[in-house]
Amino acid sequence: MKKALITDRVHQRLIEGLEEMGYNVDYEPTIALNGVHELIESYEGIVINSKVKMYKELIDKSVNLKWIARLGSGLEIIDIPYAESKGIAVMNSPEGNRNAVAEHCLGMLLALCNNIMTADREVRQFQWNREANRGIELEGKTIGIIGFGQMGSAFAAKLSSWALDVVVYDKFKQLSFEEHRNITAVSESEVWSQADIISIHLPYNDETHHLVDKAKIDRCKNGVIIINSSRGAIVHTEDLVEALESGKVGGACLDVYENEKPNTYTEQEKKLYSRLFEMNHVILSPHVAGWTKESLYKIADTLVNKVRCVIAD
């Protein structure tokens, strides 16, 4: 019987779906990368998340592998050209968590603009600071979206009926928004210069590494708000922190970070992140923008359908 290995937590829908396709499924959500290296040669399919990197060394050991399924969207953990050169199909599942990401970004932005986190802490401490917590409205603002794939388009859809303007840039797409009165395709430079709020929805690669740096921030409006739910290293953390401290950036909503393992921080990183974490004009979450109960199922269902198409070819 053909075998599939699942290396992270998934909804039962994925296990049952693979079994319906004739796979003997080994569900090992706590398996470490070295364990995958030891077992991979016996599997026809593998389901991975960020802890398993499907690079050349592991692919070379995957002598029976027919497909790699990525939970979520980021494909930087897979050497796609090398996998495909070996006849291995690669698939991801951004359709499964795009709505979760869009809702999370909007929630973080509303919390930031309305001082909800600060106000909540103060009320719990019997402080009643109404004027200090006067918020700002999104109505009339310009929101810029860089990257119009599954996540960026889902975020734009949430904003399409709001009384605000959305400007969008995607390097790889010809965009037209004739059906949406408040969404416009613009150049990248126009996003940086026009937007009051900029949301990043890009894959991580050499080209996007530290895309948001001092030079880009300096081109923005004073007080711009930066949202990043894609990959942490797309934003140069030190440049962002300095811009937040100077007031050039008026606030930030961050779900992702350059280093997402606090127990591995260097002394320099501890100091840098301590500066960031002490700020009241940032909203922070631990890489959970696409992490909902609903997306757990939808990601599983998406991959079941994609695997079925792959093995049917």
Q: Say how far apart CA 228 and CA 155 lie, in whole Å.
A: 12
Q: Which residues contact 81 (CB under 8 A, 6 or more apart)?
A: none
Q: Say how far apart CA 212 and CA 177 lie, in whole Å.
A: 26
Q: pLDDT by residue (tens digit) across 172-220?
A: 988 888 777 899 999 999 999 999 999 999 999 999 999 999 999 999 9
Q: pLDDT by residue (tens digit) across 220-269?
A: 999 999 999 999 999 999 999 999 999 999 999 999 999 999 999 999 99
Q: Say how far apart CA 242 and CA 195 lie, in whole Å.
A: 20
Q: Say how far apart CA 127 and CA 136 lie, in whole Å.
A: 21
Q: Which residues belong to the active site?
A: 231, 260, 287
CA dihedral 159, 229, 282, 279 (to 10 degrees): -170
> What type of residue is 123?
V
- What does the pLDDT read at residue 195? 98
- H or E stretch at 97: helix 94-113
Coil vs helix vs strand at 155: helix
Decide: residue 293, CB within 10 A, 0-12 exposed, 13-18 middle, 19+ buried.
exposed
- What does the pLDDT read at residue 180? 79
**Complete domains list, the chain, with CATH:** 3-95+293-312 (3.40.50.720), 98-284 (3.40.50.720)
Contact 132, 185 (CB under 8 A): no
Q: Is the pLDDT of residue 53 over 80?
A: yes
Question: What is the mean predicted confidence (pLDDT) over 89-102?
Answer: 98
Confidence of residue 313 (pLDDT cuts 50, 70, 90): confident
